[in-house]
Structure 1
Amino acid sequence: MSRFLEDLRSLSSAEEFFSFLGVEFNPKVVQVNRLHILKKYQTYLKACDGEGNGESVSRETHKRCLERAYADFLTSDARSEKLFKVFQSEAGKAFVGLDAILPLAAAECSESKVNSSAEA
């Protein structure tokens, strides 16, 4: 593994990625959208590198991907980008399947039986 990749893997905050790759940024934009920017950066890297681990792309490509992800959030927001599941569902519509409800109902029913036998 190259020294660049070792250094890249040691980064933990969005600001560290920006500084390490030499990308200028507005701290207010990054503060509000840090996870979304890094997720979009990862998406762009995967498009450049089939495996998505970034090992076969250059430092310049990493920089361009981060710049592009950051630029997306200068003109957009997290809801519009829909990177995370919470933003992917339609507004006001949620679906809970019966497979999620039935085990809860069965457990509640069993608990009621146990409590009523203990009271008797």
Structure 2
Amino acid sequence: MTCPIDRLVPDSAGILDRMRHLSSAEDFFDALGVRFEPERLAVCRLHVMKRMGEMLAGDDLEGLPDSVAAARARSMLERAYRELTGASPLERRLFKVLKDRDPARPVPSPRRPFVALGDALRPIDGG
């Protein structure tokens, strides 16, 4: 088994700047030389990219040699992809809407709107 830092990213020159301009998950996988299954990525792309973003936020790659920064970013992408392929979004709860939703707690039914009869019968100002 090889250490991720020992495997070179296809083109690591200016990798951090290039990563800032990538727009799709596939672009990140291609730029960092990470293999992926398109069918699997299609299901979890937002979660993989969110998880990688969390990992990147916790690691300062600025000032590192391009080859080291690229290897670390690739390692994070590989880890995020491994963690999230095969897991449901509800299991991982990366996004706020899922974090706030406790599956053990039922969703409260919405309260019925109430308008007092006097308010409903009051004339509408034309002004």
Deviations 1:6-51 (A, max 9, x none): 21111000010000100000111111111100000011112323xx
TM-score normalised per structure 2: 0.67
Counterpart check, 1:3 vs 2:14: yes
Structure 2 residue aligned with 1:65? 76
CA distance in structure 2 between the partners assigned to 1:38 and 1:76 by the alignment: 14
CA distance in structure 1 between the partners assigned to 2:78 and 2:121 by the alignment: 60
Change (3 A) 1:74 1:113: same
Structure 2 residue aligned with 1:118? 124
Pick one of 71, 78, 93 that aligns with 2:106.
Answer: 93
Amino acid at match of 1:55: E
**Aligned residue pair count:** 104
**Structure whose residues are more often helix by fraction:** 1
Alignment of 1:45-84 (within 5 A): 45-49=56-60, 54-56=61-63, 58-84=69-95
Deviations 1:63-92 (A, max 9, x none): 000000000023422111110122222125
CA contact (8 A) 1:29 1:73 kept: no
Structure 2 residue aligned with 1:27? 38
Change (3 A) 1:71 1:118: same
Amino acid at match of 1:27: P
Question: Structure 1: which 5+ residue stretches go unaligned?
Answer: 96-100
- RMSD value, Cα: 3.0
Q: For 2:58, what is the secondary structure of its paired residue?
A: helix
Give the % identical residues. 30
CA distance in structure 2 between the partners assigned to 1:113 and 1:3 by the alignment: 65
TM-score normalised per structure 1: 0.70
